[in-house]
Chain A
Amino acid sequence: MKESPESDPLLLDHEYDGIRELDNRLPRWWVWLFYITILFAVIYLGYYHVFNLGELSAAEYARDNAAGQALKTASQAKFESTLESLQPSSDSAIVGRGNGVYLTYCAPCHRPDGGGLVGPNLCDDYWIHGPKFSDNLKVIINGVPDKGMLTWKGVLQPSEIYAVASYIYTLRGTKPPNPKPPENLAPAKPTEVYE
């Protein structure tokens, strides 16, 4: 550190409104930093765009997505093979989780209380696609594309589908105000609805 800048041999002879300039050489590490970043740029562009060695975003996505999709498909297949034997859960933790899933994904069409909006009423005795618990599970898994019910198997995990179906099961027989009227079908027999 120099006490008086005036004696610094690097001081240039010009001044602007009292401002003087030294002519220190560029800090070496700074110069090397610059060179390294330039080298990085050349290598990167060469690797991806001149010699086409690296995957660009679409290819990278395709590979990553295929791997993830395979995991999903495996867990779904396992779940679907057990459907017929499943019973609705009465475990409050599972039903509670199902309630959360219901409010997020189902309530937009079926109303938070299950009374029906765009989708049908889930509280009455009219079950368009079958009253059994496994019928409910199948509708959630595969959807009813013709009627606007979405396919949820890619979205909801098997445990979530089970939880939300268990929650929907608890709505049966509740009487929400101002429900959506049933479609033109005979009600299911009470014995079928309440297994």
Chain B
Amino acid sequence: METFRYDNRVVRNFAWATLIWGLVGMSAGLLAAVQLFFPDANLDFQYITFGRLRPLHTNAVIFAFIGNGMFMGIYYSLPRLCKAPMFSRLLSQINFWGWNAIIVAAAVTLPLGFTTSKEYAELEWPIDIAITLVWVAFTINLFGTIIKRREKHLYVAIWFYIATALTVALLHIVNSMEVPAGWFKSYSLYAGVQDALVQWWYGHNAVAFFLTTPYLGLMYYFLPKAAGRPVFSYRLSIIHFWALIFIYIWAGPHHLLYTALPDWAQSLGMVFSVMLIAPSWGGMLNGLLTLRGAWDKVRQEPMLKFMVVAVTAYGMATLEGPTLAIKSVNSLSHYTDWTIAHVHTGALGWNGFLTFSMLYWLIPKLYRTSLYSVKLANYHFWIALTGMMFYVVPMYWGGITQGLMWKQFTPDGFLQYPNFLETVLQIIPLYRIRAIGGSLYLLGAFIGAFNLCRTAHAGSFEPESEAQAPARVKHSGVDGKGHRWLEARGLLLAGLALVAVAIGGLVEIIPTFLIKENVPTISSVKPYTPLELLGRDLYIREGCVGCHSQMIRPLRSETERYGEYSKAGEFVYDHPFLWGSKRTGPDLHRIGGKYPDAWHYNHMENPRSTSPGSIMPRYPWLLTQKLETNCLPARIKALRTVGVPYPENFELTAGKDLVKQAKGIVQNLESGMVKAQPDTEIIALIAYLQRLGTDIKLSKPVTASVDGVPSTVVVNP
């Protein structure tokens, strides 16, 4: 028998960080929700406009709240499942402090507008490097512990932890390939369609391998532990684990259905999403059926109540996901609040409830006491559940309503609701109800935090727990056969998991990069001018992509509204792509030339002056802030590095070029009775907006489509 000690300090640290960041992230979400029916809620303070707040909210909830929750659960369960303390206390500390320093950096840089604009990967390159290093520390710690374990076989929870560690590293590194153009500015190595594919391979699988697999592992530990029941089926866990990690990785393109992504990749994304239903439900079944014979406990134990809702929400979200991935459903749901409802079923239900379930179980254990108040925990449960319903249901309603309005035609073949704003005004009452739902959920979290603080206060913290186990006898005749044999070989299992997750990505990404037919060239598409380039960077800084897509799908309801549908070849110089995923406002891909410059100026100063009832924030600072042009040479050079064909020494004349174009815009503004300074940011933004989507209609007759967007365009094959 060997005696050893588990470190509880790092678990405690992660637990409190989880709680604090949870409250911060949810509050940011609530503020963002309020801004959608009360735009002045940003107080005209540029650092908390919706476009900057949204990534702050998503990053805080995903990486800070759920990320710390994941580490908390892993650092508690892994050593106990391995019968060995964590491999290195130093690495544990690097993991904790490094991760939380990254979150603080995110909380500072995102409001400042330092963003790559790629969803859930917004953080700029120095932070990306830090994430990589901290993740490597975590991975070494994980595998070190596995190698030094005393338990012969690896429990299913650990398989999921292994898949998480390896896949997140792979996703993060590939998606974050970018060329710096200054300390907090970089350009994605990939452009347009390829950038979109890599981003959504990442984005989808961040959901899979950051929000799903680690939490499934945690479910496999905490649920049977708290219920005191054996796991329903060992066989089911094997099948659903391998099926899940293999199939999940292929499904990324379902975020790009009906876009300029090649059809074959879209179809792969769709069918692999459908095939995900059963593997996902395998996890739900194994969770819920483990509770057979323990439902009386669920009634008494708040921790299990939270767990049951979490697992049920997981089952609903993983049936809904594949449904949304069916092309015909997606043509209605994409860009609407239906997606927002879907992700919140996952985030509030699955991750949120499971995190609180763990906290309610762990904090009393760590502090050697019992929960301060079961009654308060029950209040938390019911308030959070009610809040979730008040969040999700209005968003379904709003999403479907707006989606149907966008698609509605009159019998004469005209759009029934050609004015986008009309469809927004229709769902504003639902935005209000959603904010009530969010407030309830947040209230529940505060009650939970209070309860847990009182619990900790009443108990006494146990920094280390002692345990005993015999040393592991390496590879002997009792390893077992088949999968059991594999479970005794951690590194082999990890290697096979890596192969399973690599295949889907490789099959989808490599042909899209190598086969030219996948991105047909359009000869009239040219790189952005210096002024447009800086305007585009402002568009990125302000987070416009959070509410405006730049991807018109080949659907009549879209081409009638916005103009010719977007072609892959139009985005070859877009580092990064800015297709967006949500239309809180209209698509902007063919905004160029649609309105006079003066309209944009007035609209940015106060959107409600040109579009009464609009919920877009005001951007008065763009009218006064000077455009920073010293960065121009570095940016042009960085873009050249990633493949934009700016001529040699172009950066030397770029400044002159910029001034000339700015003067032209100032003159246009004058004819629209607006006096503007040529060196302000608004000028660059207008230059960019007026360029958008215009390249392919050069020298073609101009015919208006809805909102005046020219639509007769011939594209070079």
Residues of A within 8 A of B (CB): 1-3, 5, 8, 11-12, 14, 16-27, 30-31, 33-34, 37-38, 40-41, 44-45, 48-49, 56-58, 60-61, 64-65, 68-72, 74-75, 103-105, 107-109, 117-118, 143, 145, 150-158, 178, 180
Contact = CB atoms under 8 A, between A and B. Distances in A.
A151 B710 CA distance: 9
Contacts of A104: 419, 421
B622 interface: no
Contacts of A71: 411-413
B703 A154 contact: yes
A157 B413 CA distance: 9
Contacts of B610: 107-108
A40 B274 contact: yes
Contacts of B220: 19
Contacts of B612: 103
B270 A44 contact: yes
Contact of A19 (B224, B671, B672): B224
B98 interface: no
A26 B706 contact: no
Interface in B255-278: 258, 263-264, 266-268, 270-272, 274-275, 277-278
Contacts of A152: 704, 708
A54 B401 CA distance: 29
A41 B278 contact: no
Given A14-B153, A41-B271, A155 B596 contact: no
Contacts of A158: 412
Contacts of A57: 258, 263, 266, 553-554
B701 interface: yes
Contacts of A25: 233, 235
B513 interface: no
B231 A37 contact: no
Contacts of A37: 274-275, 277-278
Interface stretch (B208-216, B279-287, B436-444, B582-590): B279-287
A151 B231 contact: no
A108 B672 CA distance: 10
B598 A19 contact: no
B285 A30 contact: yes
Given A5-B293, A30-B278, A143 B413 contact: no
Given A64-B556, A151-B704, A44 B267 contact: yes
Those 3 A-B pairs whose CB atoms lie nearest each other, nearest first: A71-B413, A34-B278, A41-B271
Contact of B263 (A38, A48, A69, A143): A48
Nearest to B266: A57
A117 B553 CA distance: 33
Contacts of B702: 145, 150-151
B714 interface: no
B413 A75 contact: yes
Nearest to A63: B556
B705 A155 contact: yes
Nearest to A14: B153
Given A57-B258, A178-B673, A180-B673, 12 more contacts: A19-B231, A37-B274, A37-B275, A37-B278, A40-B271, A48-B263, A57-B266, A72-B414, A103-B612, A108-B599, A108-B610, A117-B672
Contacts of B239: 26
Interface footprint category on B: 35 or more
Given A57-B258, A57-B554, A155-B418, A21 B231 contact: yes
A49 B234 contact: no
B285 A1 contact: no
B413 A69 contact: yes
A20 to B, nearest CB: 4
B413 A154 contact: no
Contacts of A30: 236, 278, 281-282, 285
Contacts of B289: 24
19 contacts: A2-B293, A19-B155, A19-B225, A24-B289, A26-B235, A31-B278, A56-B263, A68-B413, A71-B412, A74-B412, A105-B707, A108-B596, A150-B702, A151-B703, A151-B704, A154-B704, A154-B706, A154-B711, A155-B708
A61 B701 contact: no
Contacts of A22: 230-234
A72 B239 CA distance: 54
Given A26-B236, A48-B263, A118-B672, A34 B703 contact: no
Contact of B271 (A44, A60, A65, A108): A44
A44 B570 CA distance: 29
Among A5, A31, A37, residue most surrounded by chain B Cβ atoms (within 10 Å): A37
Interface string B290-315: 00110000000000000000000000
Interface in B570-599: 595-596, 598-599
Contact of B267 (A23, A45, A74): A45
Nearest to A40: B274
A34 B80 contact: no
A110 to B, nearest CB: 11
Contacts of B274: 37, 40-41
B263 A16 contact: no
B174 interface: no
B565 A61 contact: yes
A38 B275 contact: yes
B233 A117 contact: no
B225 A17 contact: yes
Contacts of B704: 143, 150-155
B488 to A, nearest CB: 11
Contacts of B232: 22, 24
B626 interface: no
A121 B419 CA distance: 24
Nearest to B231: A21
Contacts of B419: 104
A5 B229 CA distance: 7
Nearest to B80: A17
Interface in B343-385: none
Contacts of A70: 413
A34 B559 CA distance: 38
Contact of B235 (A24, A45, A69, A143): A24
A64 B104 CA distance: 51
B634 interface: no
Given A16-B81, A45-B267, A57-B258, A75 B412 contact: yes
B151 interface: yes
Contacts of A150: 702, 704, 708
B596 A109 contact: yes
A153 to B, nearest CB: 8
Contacts of B170: none
Contacts of B554: 57-58, 60-61
A103 B422 CA distance: 13
A157 to B, nearest CB: 5
Nearest to B701: A145
B414 A157 contact: yes
A68 B409 contact: yes
A45 B271 contact: yes
